[in-house]
Structure 1
């Protein structure tokens, strides 16, 4: 029987990101907040969550991800810095400084790369090991980036003007190493694919399928698109978009932004979280919703599955759609759902 509970000590301001450790043996998750802290929590026996530690920054933290193991996290901050933090010692190291707030950061374990995207319309590619023979490389983007995602082989960047670039991580790693002696280390590297989003409005979130075959993206206008990397006509004909996170009020449907997209690491289904405070589970292949969870007290800001596939963490915070400048009590929270064996599994016919 599935159960859900809230953690007792959430951040004091809006939550900008939440991610479980990619280690299947770990039940730790990291949280980024506008209260200028990055947090590490851990599930104890799956029944309780406790705060392990937190790290103060000079400005709101907009994104966080784990590195090579549970003792390493990376943060994206509004103070323009990208940091590596040693969880065990608390040591913070600035990897690079953008020319504007840093929106997203992701880590590729397969290629030992840290990639950050900032509102100065650049990507910074950092080596994920301190003994690398090269330092930070920069790639200019055509538009402001809104969200990053990595699969085992690809990097997906969702940007303004419905632009979407896909890079092969192997190519990025090779280019960074080969340009190590360049004075500026500014890479003039073409993306593997340039795409225009299937969604008509601003992209809010993107996440990659665990099987490395494609990705899902969401927009501010209650829609999600599912696409495949394979550029063949056959694969591209499979892509589709659908409406979601719309609530009837009187005679009209109120449309909410889809703020979060997260794939299940084992079943390949995915969760979406909306400004309506609702989390829904979808089957990308069968093109149908598997289930919808009860409405939460505020907009869903982020959601993440544990690497072992047994838990779903959801963060709520007041969104722009709530129209509140103050943070009402109880409107910032993190909920842990213990998933039933078949709760997010594709339904067989």
Structure 2
């Protein structure tokens, strides 16, 4: 299916947003905002995690940095905003204390750590770190012990993962999904297969915690629900594609859907692709709210701040075209975008 379009959903010129000061030296893998202020953690392939403060006018200032022994693939803040968790190709899960400026390793996997998240489990909302790895496991850490609280065996390598409220969804190789109810975090609630034809690239849970959106490497997105009853409302649609003319013939060029981000207040979402396009969507009314022309380089990571007033997105090479397109002069940076109502407000 295709999303409907309104008068406000036409494609507009590229965004002219504010550049983050002193960005990473290599492609950004992940972005995360603190819940306790406009502080942004950034993980990148230069093996570092950086922390920036975003000012009211969109300007920024670097505040801290710590290192891994290999490219860092994921970063998140703890719920109270006092610590940052990260994981990467050195197989380590690290925790950075904002007050002391010290980083410590709290966990390890047998293969690279592809994604980390902060979660609250059980009726008592016990805070834990969750890490997914290419070693086909999901591990829970209590931040005080080098041994995992629990380990869940996955059907394949963990590629993507997200949590919201008591929902955790992990996407693996071979298009498999493991769904977990964090009230019972050591048990798989459901296992399923992606409705999309090609490899899973991105995932994001609904604000309500009752479903998730998943994107693939060939410019397609699917909206999925956890309960069997709501799953009747599931649907998929094409995005991040363009028609190009080659030798007199029109072809449909496909791009990887690198990031899906739900607005924390409105529940609408934005998608970012390897062609450099940002599009805002309303899943409930099935409308595209806003779409911007490509900025000419892949968008590799993105996220909203805690109240949805700021949207940060990273530009850089995402390897979607192979090593021959990896060039020393490929741009690397992070843009700060002031969110407008027309981009995220639900359609009545």
The reply to whether TM is greater than 0.5 is yes
Which whole-Å CA distance do the structure 2 matches of 1:9 and 1:90 have between them?
19
Inter-partner Cα distance in structure 1 for 2:79 and 2:327: 35
Deviations 1:275-318 (CA, angstroms, capped at 9, x unpaired): 11111111111122111123224111111011111111111111
* CA distance, structure 2, for counterparts of residue 91 and residue 68 of structure 1: 18
- 1:347 deviates by 2.1
264-273 or 317-326: bigger deviation: 317-326
Per-residue CA deviations over 1:161-219 (Å, capped at 9, x if unaligned) read 111010011212xx5xxxxxxxxxxxxx3x11111111111101111111112110100
Which position in structure 1 is the counterpart of 2:153?
140
Tell me which residue corresponds to 1:313.
312
What is aligned with 1:179?
A: none
- Specify which of 11, 14, 22 is matched with residue 24 of structure 2: 11
2:210 to 210, 213, 216: 213
What is the DSSP-based 3-state SS (H/G/I as helix, E as strand, rest coil) of the residue aligned with 2:183? helix
Q: How many residues align?
A: 325
Kept in 1, the 8 Å contact 2:50–2:62? The answer is yes
Partner of 1:343: 343
Kept in 2: contact 1:104–1:118 (CA 8 A): yes
2:194 maps to which of 179, 193, 197: 197
* 2:237 match: secondary structure: strand
* Cα pair 1:10 1:333 within 8 Å, conserved: yes
Which residue in 2 is equivalent to 1:75?
A: 86
**Shift of the alpha carbon at 1:135?**
4.5
Structure 1: segments with no counterpart, 5+ residues: 176-188
The alpha-carbon deviation at position 68 of structure 1 amounts to 3.0
Following superposition, the deviation at residue 4 of structure 1 comes to: 2.0
| 2:223 is equivalent to residue 226 of structure 1 | yes
- For the pair 1:103 / 2:114, whether they are aligned, the reply is yes
> Which deviates the most, 210-219 or 335-344?
335-344
What is residue 178 of structure 1 aligned with on the other side? none
Distance 1:347 1:305 in 2: 20
The 8 Å contact of residues 280 and 343 in structure 2, kept in 1 or not, is answered as no
SS of the equivalent of 1:343 reads: helix
CA contact (8 A) 1:280 1:291 kept: yes
Match of 1:287 in 2: 286
TM-score by length of 2: 0.89
Asked whether the 8 Å contact 1:96–1:136 carries over to 2, the reply is no
1:227/1:326 CA distance change after superposition, 3 Å: closer
CA distance in 2, matches of 1:211, 1:111: 20
Structure with bigger RCO (C-alpha 8 Å, 6+ apart): 2
Counterpart CA distance in 2 for 1:214 and 1:254 is 29
RMSD of the TM alignment (CA)? 1.9
Rate the CA distance shift 1:256–1:237 in 2: closer, same or farther, 3 A: same
The change in CA–CA distance for 1:135 and 1:319 in structure 2 (over 3 A counts) is closer
Whether the 8 Å contact between 1:13 and 1:327 is mirrored in structure 2 is no
> Are 1:103 and 1:118, in contact at CA under 8 Å, matched by a contact in 2?
yes
Shift of 1:328: 4.0
Distance change in 2, residues 1:42/1:268 (3 Å): same
Check whether the contact 1:46–1:338 (CA below 8 A) recurs between aligned residues.
no
